[in-house]
Structures are given as C-alpha cells and as structure tokens.
C-alpha cells in the first residue's frame, strides 16, 4: 500500500465545473482516496507532491486520435508496414500522455495496431494512456475509409486504412470482424471527408440501413459507435440510427441539432483538424483538395457548435491528432480554438474530462478527481481561466497512481 498526497493550489472539480483552492488529493495505490482541505493532517512517511503553484485537472481525455500518423502534410502518402505502425503508435500515445492526456479514444488505425497497443499498456509492458480503440474504420467502396486510388491496399482489411463493405449484411460482417479483433468502438464513415481524395465532403456515403446494421451489432456486443460525418444528411441518418458520437459534425442544421439533443448524441468538434490544414495550407505541402475542403467545412462550424451547445447537445473534446500539422502531444491547442468558438475555459475542461468520460462510458473510473476513481491527474503551468494557452504547458502527469512527469 502506497500513499501519495498531492498539494494543489487550484484543482478543477469536473463534477461541478468549478475550481477548488488549497486542496489535497490523497492517492492510495492507483486510486483517489479522498480530496480534502490543506488543514487536514498528512500522515508521516507518505510522498508529498507540491503542486501549490500549478493548475491541477483530472487526466485529460481526447476522444478522437489516430495513432498511426503524426501531422504529415499528406498522411495518405506514407508507406509503413503494420509493424512500423505499431511502434509508431506507441510513441504517439506516449507523446499524448506527456501532454496530460491519460485516456484516448482511437477512431481509425490500420491493422488493429491500436488493439495490440491497448493490450500491451494494460499488461504493463508498455507505458501509455488508457486506450479505447476502434481498429480500422468501417466504410463503403470508394468512400472516406477506402484507400483511394490504391486498390491493392483496399482488398485487405488488415493492410488498408479502412474495413470496406457495401450493404447492411456486409456491414454487419465487417462490424463483427472488428469486434472479433477486440475493438471497443465501431467507427464508420457516414460522409465524404477532407483528407480522402475524390470524395465530396458533404455527401452521404453510407445508407441509413448500413449505419443501422453497424449500430445494431455494436449494441449486441456492448461497444459504442462513432461516426465521421460532415454532411447534413449523413449526420442525420447516423443520429437517427442511434450513433454514440458524431465526429466533426461540421455541416449541422437545426434538425441535426434537435435530434442530437433529443437522443443525447455527443458532438466531437475537432476544430483543430480543419484549422491546421487551412492555416498551414498548400505552401506547407498539404494537397490543395484538402485545403479547399477544410475551408468548406470550417465555414459553418462555429455557428453549428454554438447552436448545438445552446440546444443542450453534449460536446466532448477530440482533436483528430495525426492529421496534417496536428501533432500528438500538441493537441491542447484545441482549447484555444474552443475559446474562439465561445466555449469558456472551464466548459472546455468539462468537455475534456467529465463529458468525454461519459461518452466512453467510463464515468465510474475516470473523468474527475473523485474518491474511488483511478488516480489519473495532470497539472499545468498557469491558470487557463486567465490564459488558455496554459493547457499547452503540462508539467505533471499521473496515471493509475504512477507519476510519469513532474517538472
């Protein structure tokens, strides 16, 4: 039995979206034992960590990452074997951990390298954050998950970027195939995307019946679902079919918002993914078609996210880390962009802790610093209420009661 006491000058209380001052967090082995005021007695022989001049938060949660890429100008052009991807994914997950992200949800990596990494981390063989993983995305022939203009890759779900199927029966088989390989979430591509050459970003790519087939299998096996969706009709069908979270959701209309609010569908806005592509642009080597499509989808996004929040749609933090110039370990920049979208720093922190944990159905173990939950804790240099860039300056990381960073 080991006891660590963290002395926190400021601590984000995710359950109540408020900041507590001068509290101590008692960590017994890998769990939070209690949160109490400084006045309480500290037992002798325990390790005391001084975070009195830091801003302490629950370990952050990024609901949308790709561990097999890291900001390359055109990730579609990288040539890696699955073995390469596996080692690469380990380093990316570690970079995220060191930025304060103690939980990640992967939503599209080839060859189930994310499943293997999750398992290795859980067995304690490899250092990394808690992972909830999707394996390859499910999608249709020629759709956003397909390996565009590379048909030799397309034919094998183990080598391709996505698992391709057409029709509800084939989708069910593809969904079961991913579950057989140990995924926690089924990710499917409802519409075209920014990075897939030749797809129309707003166009629906899966039928309602195909989406419903995936979600039916997910519900049977007790896994959650996630859909890449930009275009309005694709979003609507996925929401009506019962998807857990809409990723990007950049072309929301009032009906999408109403349906999402009514059904409790989460929105993961990933503002940074489009913003990085537009800001860096084709000068930085990003293909022109990606830049044009990113502009198209970002145009309405602030308006859509604002309306969605006003209607009570739950927003969870996700960054699409891995996409062009959107680097692992640097994704806290999303907090700045959320602020530009009118989301207050504390609300953004709730998105990256409590709400993200709810999305993942992990609220009983992570998402807040609460007695009985895992001791997943981060600390930052500065107060994000005054300076949101503080979230990019992670100085302390504890996961499962173990300190991985303290400087």
The tokens of 148 are what?
């565009």
Shortest Cβ 47–Zn ion spacing (Å): 39
Shortest Cβ 247–Zn ion spacing (Å): 6
Of the candidate spans 8-16, 23-31, 72-80, 315-323, the one that interacts with Zn ion by CB under 5 A turns out to be 315-323
Q: Which is nearer to Zn ion, 320 or 334 (CB)?
A: 320
Of the candidate spans 9-17, 153-161, 276-284, 312-320, the one that interacts with Zn ion by CB under 5 A turns out to be 312-320
Q: Whose structure tokens read 């309306």?
A: 307
* Coil vs helix vs strand at 363: coil
Print the binding letters for residues 132-171 with Zn ion: x by CB under 5 A, - otherwise: ----------------------------------------
Q: Which is nearer to Zn ion, 24 or 160 (CB)?
A: 160
Of the candidate spans 48-56, 178-186, 274-282, 316-324, the one that interacts with Zn ion by CB under 5 A turns out to be 316-324
Residue nearest to Zn ion (CB): 320
321 and 273 Cβ atoms separated by less than 8 Å: no
Region of residue 141 (phi > 0: left; psi between -120 and 50: alpha; otherwise: beta): beta
Shortest Cβ 46–Zn ion spacing (Å): 42
Total residues at the site for Zn ion (CB under 5 A)? 1
256 and 249 Cβ atoms separated by less than 8 Å: yes
380 and 55 Cβ atoms separated by less than 8 Å: yes
The CA distance from 144 to 338, in Å, is 26
Shortest Cβ 206–Zn ion spacing (Å): 16
Of the candidate spans 118-126, 234-242, 287-295, 318-326, the one that interacts with Zn ion by CB under 5 A turns out to be 318-326
Q: Residues of 126-151 as b/e, b for ≥16 C-beta within 10 angstroms? A: eebbbbbbbbbbbbbebbbbbbbeee
Instruction: Using CB under 5 A, pick the residue from 109, 114, 320, 334 that binds Zn ion.
Output: 320
Q: Which is nearer to Zn ion, 32 or 251 (CB)?
A: 251
Q: Which is nearer to Zn ion, 114 or 320 (CB)?
A: 320
Shortest Cβ 76–Zn ion spacing (Å): 13
- Provide the Cα torsion 291, 296, 302, 304; round to 10°: -140
Q: Which is nearer to Zn ion, 54 or 144 (CB)?
A: 144
The CA distance from 264 to 274, in Å, is 25
Shortest Cβ 331–Zn ion spacing (Å): 12
Of the candidate spans 95-103, 167-175, 319-327, 358-366, the one that interacts with Zn ion by CB under 5 A turns out to be 319-327
Q: Whose structure tokens read 């997950």?
A: 93
- Gap between the terminal Cα atoms of the chain: 25
Kindly calculate the radius of gyration of the chain based on its CA atoms and give it in whole angstroms: 20
> Residues with Cβ < 8 Å from 180, sequence gap 6 or more?
none
Q: Which is nearer to Zn ion, 96 or 400 (CB)?
A: 96
* Coil vs helix vs strand at 369: coil
Of the candidate spans 69-77, 81-89, 313-321, 336-344, the one that interacts with Zn ion by CB under 5 A turns out to be 313-321
Residues at the site binding Zn ion, with contacts judged by CB under 5 A? 320
């Amino acid at each position: 039995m080991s006891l660590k006491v963290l002395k926190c000058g400021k601590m984000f209380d995710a359950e109540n979206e408020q900041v507590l001052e001068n509290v101590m967090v008692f960590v017994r082995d890998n769990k939070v034992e209690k949160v109490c005021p400084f006045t309480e007695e500290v037992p002798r022989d325990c390790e005391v960590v001084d975070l009195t001049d830091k801003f302490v938060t629950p370990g952050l949660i990024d609901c949308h990452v790709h561990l097999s890429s890291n900001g390359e100008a055109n990730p579609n052009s990288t040539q890696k074997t699955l073995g390469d991807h596996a080692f690469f994914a380990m380093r990316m997950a570690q970079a995220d951990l060191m930025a304060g992200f103690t939980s990640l949800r992967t939503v599209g990596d080839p060859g189930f390298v994310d499943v293997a990494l999750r398992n290795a981390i859980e067995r304690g063989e490899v250092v990394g954050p808690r992972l909830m993983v999707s394996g390859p995305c499910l999608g249709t022939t020629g759709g956003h998950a397909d390996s565009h203009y590379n048909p030799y890759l397309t034919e094998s779900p183990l080598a391709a970027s996505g698992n391709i199927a057409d029709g509800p029966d084939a989708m069910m088989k593809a969904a079961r195939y991913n579950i057989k390989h140990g995924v926690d979430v089924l990710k499917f591509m409802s519409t075209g995307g920014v990075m897939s050459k030749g797809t129309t970003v707003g166009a629906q790519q899966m039928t309602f019946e195909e989406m419903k087939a995936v979600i039916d299998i997910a519900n049977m096996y007790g896994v959650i679902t996630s859909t890449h969706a930009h275009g309005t009709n694709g979003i609507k069908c996925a929401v009506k079919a019962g998807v857990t979270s809409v990723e990007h959701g950049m072309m929301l209309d009032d009906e999408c918002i109403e349906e999402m609010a009514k059904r409790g569908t989460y929105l993961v806005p990933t503002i940074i993914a489009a913003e990085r592509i537009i800001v860096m642009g084709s000068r930085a080597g990003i293909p022109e078609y990606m830049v044009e499509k990113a502009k198209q989808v970002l145009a309405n996004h602030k308006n859509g996210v604002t309306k969605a929040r006003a209607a009570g749609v739950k927003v969870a933090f996700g960054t699409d880390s891995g996409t062009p110039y959107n680097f692992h370990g640097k994704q806290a920049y999303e907090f700045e962009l959320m602020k530009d979208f009118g989301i207050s720093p504390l609300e953004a922190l709730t998105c990256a802790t409590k709400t993200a944990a709810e999305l993942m159905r992990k609220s009983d173990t992570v998402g807040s610093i609460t007695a009985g939950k895992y001791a997943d804790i981060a600390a930052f240099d500065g107060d994000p209420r005054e300076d949101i860039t503080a979230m990019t300056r992670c100085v302390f990381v504890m996961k499962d009661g173990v300190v991985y960073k303290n400087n």
